[in-house]
Chains A and B, each alone.
Chain A
Amino acid sequence: MSSRSFSYFPPEHEAERASNSYLMSLVVIMVGLPLPIVNVIGSGIYFLANRKSAYFVRWHCAQALLAQAITLPVNAAGLYWTLAIVFDRASFSDNYAAYLITVILFNLIEFIATMVAAVRTRKGHHVSWWFFGPLTDALVRG
Chain B
Amino acid sequence: MPKILSQFLVLAGLFFGTWFLLRTVDYRSLFRVDEVTNEAEQKLSELILDQMKKDGDECTSDSALALVELIRQRLCLANGIADSSITLHLLVHDEINAIALPDRQLVVYTGIIKYSNSPEELAGVLAHEITHIQHGHVMKKLKREVGVSMLGALAGGDAGGDIARQTTRLLTSSAFDREMESDADYGAVQMMAKAGIDPIHFADLLFRFSQEKGNIPKRFEWISSHPNTQERCAKILKLRKQEAYTIKPILDKARWEYLKKVVGAMKTERK
Contacts and interface: CB of A to CB of B under 8 A. Distances in A.
A135 B10 CA distance: 14
Interface residues of A, number: 20
B148 A86 contact: yes
A93 B144 CA distance: 19
A108 interface: no
Interface in A102-118: 102, 105-106
A36 to B, nearest CB: 15
A93 B19 CA distance: 13
Contacts of B3: 134
Interface in B1-20: 1, 3-4, 7-8, 10-11, 15, 18-20
B11 A98 contact: no
Interface string A111-142: 00000000000000000001100110010000
A93 B1 CA distance: 38
A130 to B, nearest CB: 6
A27 interface: no
Interface size grouping (class) on chain B: 20 to 34
A102 B15 contact: yes
Contact of A97 (B4, B10, B31): B31
Contact of A105 (B18, B25, B26, B33): B18
Contacts of A86: 143, 148
Given A86-B148, A87-B144, A130-B11, A102 B4 contact: no
Contact of B22 (A101, A130, A131, A135): A101
B24 to A, nearest CB: 8
B148 to A, nearest CB: 6
Interface in A46-77: 74
